[in-house]
Structure 1
């Protein structure tokens, strides 16, 4: 590669990594700030609601904050770095060939950095007990927590595939739909696992507090499994669509329901 092209590629990668770091920082800064406010009158850590109770207002407030913060920041950073903000989403993009492994690793580093800085800022600027860690709660077992994180992340990843990766007239609504996908996933997730769906979201607060619980690993494995399942399903659908196109005289495929 010519030196001029090398410098150009280096600058481009620096922009993308910076975009992921700053975008993840802003996404989690807004979301974790809302979680801190909502949980400020509780004595336990996490996005969990009071044990034994379902505080629907609190749950809805946190879910909306995460969903809208993601939608806003995806809109801002989509053209800068892709607006991934999540190592699991980065893996999902790698698995469908939208990112190389090397690039994905660097973007993941930016996301982790952004999550750590956001967590530190929230801890530093808000008074009171730090209450934004994700923990298993309300009698959820490790296995249940793992499955919850897996399937909720799968939902988020599928929204990204079909609204952002696929090219169609609905792409203009991609950021909003992706934000809503996180919102609906947070509604059940917060109560039992804290609704992470994102290793960067969990790792940051745990690092800042130096409190890595025994179940910390599920917040990595669950989202990565969810992204992998979504990638398998997406590639399966693309395979079926390609087969249908080859075997049909009608080049314009129609959906089953019209």
Structure 2
């Protein structure tokens, strides 16, 4: 098996398993609050703040955890809209992107099917428009919410900086606030795979299901255009020391100190570095405090 094929296979498997796990827990949490006890008589649970928060937490935390797990393999995208955005900015080839989108869609359907089979009662996790939200409004809500998610992903994960390793936390928090806004009005999809899964399992598609595809794709285009504009304007030059924490200076001191100690070993004469510190790391806090 060639390296390229192996990498495509790894990306496919990672996105399938990651999307499955992410949506399994998100669907499962949503199904809990959408399936009230039979003794509860209510016509509209969607406006219940505790329910909205529970669903938002289920999606946000599940994304943060699973994106962190699969971040080093395929990037932990789990969303065709994010994958499209990545292709638009040149972060993924068309072939790799297409394979990951297929994996994400299959993973979402599998997650919905397993949740439906494991938990009693009907699968009640579909994304729908609340009464009073028009199709046009729903489309643009999905577009702007998706753009927020993708901009967060680009700036925290695609752009490499010293906090990149905790990017999944920021991405999960981004989805949390997105869901807190969007769940009530549109179901807070921002992910075509998330909306497709329950529709396939329940064999039920609304007449406006298409907004859960077009809205996120428009959000991908909007976010990608903004990101490319920032890159074209060399945004890093506006605040070049934003991520600076003194580590570059400390690394330089370590290298210099090591070089001086090497010279001392040959000459037998103590250097200033030997007098100031027993280890090169002890000077770090002073440098940071002066920054």
TM-score by length of 2: 0.78
Q: Tell me whether 1:219 sits opposite 2:227 in the alignment.
A: no
Q: Which runs of 5+ in 1 are unaligned?
A: 1-5, 44-48
Aligned to 2:233: 240
Higher relative contact order (CA 8 A, sep 6+): 1
| Distance in 1 between residues matched to 2:169 and 2:37, nearest whole Å | 31
1:134-149 correspondence runs (5 A): 134-149=127-142
Q: Determine helix, strand or coil for the equivalent of 1:76.
A: helix
In 1, are the aligned partners of 2:153 and 2:171 still within 8 Å (CA)? yes
Cα distance, 1:30–1:166 mapped onto 2, change above 3 Å:
same
Q: Tell me whether 1:185 sits opposite 2:178 in the alignment.
A: yes
In 2, are the aligned partners of 1:87 and 1:199 still within 8 Å (CA)? yes
Q: What is the Cα deviation at residue 138 of structure 1?
A: 2.9
| Distance in 2 between residues matched to 1:85 and 1:95, nearest whole Å | 17
In 2, are the aligned partners of 1:92 and 1:157 still within 8 Å (CA)? yes
Aligned to 2:35: 40
Q: Determine helix, strand or coil for the equivalent of 1:158.
A: helix
1:198-217 correspondence runs (5 A): 198-217=191-210
Q: What is the Cα deviation at residue 172 of structure 1?
A: 2.0
Task: Give the total of aligned pairs.
Answer: 239
Q: Which runs of 5+ in 2 are unaligned?
A: 243-291
Q: What is the Cα deviation at residue 253 of structure 1?
A: 3.7
| Distance in 2 between residues matched to 1:16 and 1:73, nearest whole Å | 15
Which structure has the larger Rg over C-alpha atoms? Answer: 2
Q: Tell me whether 1:63 sits opposite 2:56 in the alignment.
A: yes
Deviation track 1:132-172 (CA, whole Å, cap 9, x = no partner) reads 01111131000010011000000000100000000111212
| Distance in 2 between residues matched to 1:86 and 1:30, nearest whole Å | 15
Cα distance, 1:200–1:53 mapped onto 2, change above 3 Å:
closer
| Distance in 2 between residues matched to 1:52 and 1:66, nearest whole Å | 18
Q: Tell me whether 1:54 sits opposite 2:54 in the alignment.
A: no
Aligned to 1:3: none
Deviation track 1:8-41 (CA, whole Å, cap 9, x = no partner) reads 2111110110000000000000000000001111
| Distance in 2 between residues matched to 1:93 and 1:212, nearest whole Å | 28
Cα distance, 1:40–1:107 mapped onto 2, change above 3 Å:
same
